[in-house]
Structure formats: structure tokens, C-alpha cells
Amino acid sequence: MLSPFFISIKSLVILVPLLASIAYFTLAERKVLATLQRRMGPNVVGIWGTLQPLSDGLKLFTKEHIIPSNANKEIFIVSPLITFYLSLLGWAVIPFDEGVVFADLNLGVIYLLAISSLGVYGIIMAGWSSNSKYAFLGAIRSAAQMVSYEVSFGFIISTVIICSDSFNLTEIVNAQKYLWYVVPLFPSFVSFLISALAETNRHPFDLPEAEAELVSGYNVEYASMGFALFSLGEYSNILLMSAIATHFFLGGWISVFPLYLFPLKYISPGFFLFSLKLCLFVVFFILARGLLPRYRYDQLMDLGWKCLLPFSIFWLLFVTSSLFQLKIIF
């Protein structure tokens, strides 16, 4: 049995860099979007705007916390906390290098699925408790979207699991030693990216926050820290999805080049490669926001239920039967 002190140190080692990376993710998003639109982006606070996220956080922290008069007070306060907490909880099973992981669960993938299915609650509770039509509509849209894309998400993940014959994330990465799964499972990679965009309520599927119709979706009524926690949770979820995608399809910490060619081999290139690949997905998320227009709601549902779900079921059957035919699985 580990001591609580050791466990708390261990979790802080993950959480503090994670929160810092979330803060700088917002800055990166603003900078990349600005570059796409030929603007400068934030460049006043600090050198090239590097202290912008800190000042934003400070601003949100010092603002007044407003609770609407007819809101359900307890749920209203609890729901951003739940969102934030659940988004942090998923990081417990993500390995950063071989053996560098908080909890190396045997069923790590199922744990991740369970945590991501719980993530709907924070949003739907926030929408209901703030006693506003816009927030409620946004919450309902978001919940329907997340639940419907979770189904195809599970099917897509199960192709990877069948190929690697394990639910453990470390073993999944080690199974890609010779070939990353992005090559043989390219269709599931593409559909994973689409459903990851929908799962995290990002553009072009950001209907819960459709500014034109719903002001800002489920978090209209939130000010100061509640709003900050929601956005922190959202960005943490995006980073988590990128990490999962890295482990499933881009081979986690496994390098393309042999180890002796890599110049940073003495300071553990595993971390470095993992974060480099994660950054690729982060940039993809930001570019998708900058480049694609928003889907209509029925188009979104059509894409989820009529395109992605049948395709992912077909692909799962195809992969399984081909592996069976090649006598790789019995």
C-alpha cells in the first residue's frame, strides 16, 4: 500500500505540468488562429504574449462569482467542478513513457471510456441548473451529441484493441513497435479524429456553444471561476483525446528513427516524442477550428448515426475477419 503523501506527490507531478500546458494551449490556439486570419494575436503581455494565459487566469480569478437568482444553487456550483475533475481523472492511465504512468490498469481503455461517458454529466447539470433556455438547449444538444458519438468511438477503439490484443495502454503502444497503427488502420484513424472532435464539442461540431443561436451554450450563466473551470476541463479533454490518439495510432513514445540517431537520447526521448506527437494533434484541433464551418445539427446527427456508426461497425468486422483469416487471432 502506497502512502497518501507519495500518491499526492505523484498526482501533482502529472497535474501541475498538465495545467500549465492547458494554459499555454489557449495561447497557442489564439496565436494559430491569428496566423490563419493574418493577425498578430496576443502580443502585449510578456514577450510575444507569453504571459497572456496567466493574466487571463488572474482576471477570471478576481471576477465576481455570480449565481442566477432562480438557479439550483448546489448543482450550479458543483457542475463545473465535476467537469474539471473528470477531465483530470482520465490522465491517471495515460503513460508518458514506458513505465511512467500513474496507474497501469489492465483495463485502461475501458476506464477511459467510462470516464469520458461520465463527462456528459457536468455539462447537462450545468445547463439544467442555470435555469436559462439557452443554457438548457446547449446542454441537451451537447449531451445528445456526446452520447451518440460515444457509440462509434467505442467501435473504432475496439479495432485497435483487437489488433493489439490488450486493454492496457502500455501494451497497445508496445504492439506498434514495428508499424504504427495509423498505417494499417487509417480509416479508423480518420473516424477517430472526427468523433474526437465531436466528443470534445470542438469545431466544426461545437453546436452546444453555437454563438449565433445559443449565445454560449451551457455555460452562459457562468462567470469567473466557474467559467474558467469549464474551459480548463474542455481543454484538458482535448489534450487527453490527443494523448489517446497518439497512443492508439502514432505509437506513443516509439520513435521513427533508431535511438542512436536521436540527439536527445540522454534525456529520455520517450517524453519528448510523445509530447511532439501530442502537439501534432493539438495543432490539428486548432486548424479544424480555424478552417471548417460549423455543421447544422441534423447534419451532425446524420454523420454520427448514418455514416460513422455503420462504417465503424463494418470496419470492425472487416479487421476482425481479416485477422482471423490470416490466423493472427483465433
Partner 1 sequence: MSLLLLLSLLSAFFVFYSKNSVFSILSLIVLFICLSVLLVFIELEFLPLIMIMIYVGAVTILFLFVVMMLNIKKIFLKIKSNSNSIKFGSIAVIYLFFNYYVAISYLNTNCDLFFNGINLNWLNVEIIDNELLKLHALLAVENLFSNKEHLIFYAMQIAHENIFSYINDLKVIGFWFYTNFFPFLLVAGFVLLQSILGAIVLTMPYHRKLSNMKAPLSSSFLRSSRKNIVLLKAKQ
Contact between 274 and partner 1 (CB under 8 A)?
Answer: no
Smallest separation (angstroms) from partner 1 to the CB of 320: 14
Smallest separation (angstroms) from partner 1 to the CB of 126: 12
Please spell the DSSP secondary structure of 40-94, one letter per residue.
--S-SSSGGGTTHHHHHHHHHHHSPP---TTS-HHHHHHHHHHHHHHHHHGGGG-
Q: Are 316 and 191 in contact (CB under 8 A)?
A: no
| 208, burial (CB in 10 Å: exposed 0-12, middle 13-18, buried 19+) | buried
Using CB under 8 A, which of the segments 22-30, 94-102, 122-130, 282-290 binds partner 1?
122-130
| Interface with partner 1 (CB under 8 A), residue from 15, 19, 81, 143 | 143
Smallest separation (angstroms) from partner 1 to the CB of 262: 35
Smallest separation (angstroms) from partner 1 to the CB of 111: 6
Contact between 162 and partner 1 (CB under 8 A)?
Answer: no
| CA-based radius of gyration for the chain | 20
Could you give the angle at the alpha carbon of 147 between the alpha carbons of 165 and 83, nearest 5°? Answer: 95
Question: For partner 1, how many residues bind (rule: CB under 8 A)?
Answer: 21
Contact between 140 and partner 1 (CB under 8 A)?
Answer: yes
Contact between 117 and partner 1 (CB under 8 A)?
Answer: yes
Task: Give the closest residue to 141 by CA, choosing from 208, 82, 58, 84.
Answer: 208
Judged by CB under 8 A, the chain residues 45 through 84 that form the site for partner 1 are 75
Contact between 214 and partner 1 (CB under 8 A)?
Answer: no
| Interface with partner 1 (CB under 8 A), residue from 13, 20, 114, 328 | 114
**Residue 308 and residue 299: Cα distance in Å, rounded?**
12
Query: What are the distances in angstroms from CA 317 to CA 36, 124, 166, 220, 235?
Result: 40, 34, 18, 43, 33
| Interface with partner 1 (CB under 8 A), residue from 81, 113, 283, 288 | 113
Contact between 317 and partner 1 (CB under 8 A)?
Answer: no
Instruction: List contacts with partner 1 (CB under 8 A).
Output: 75, 105-107, 110-111, 113-114, 117-118, 120-121, 124-125, 128, 136, 140, 143, 147, 150, 167
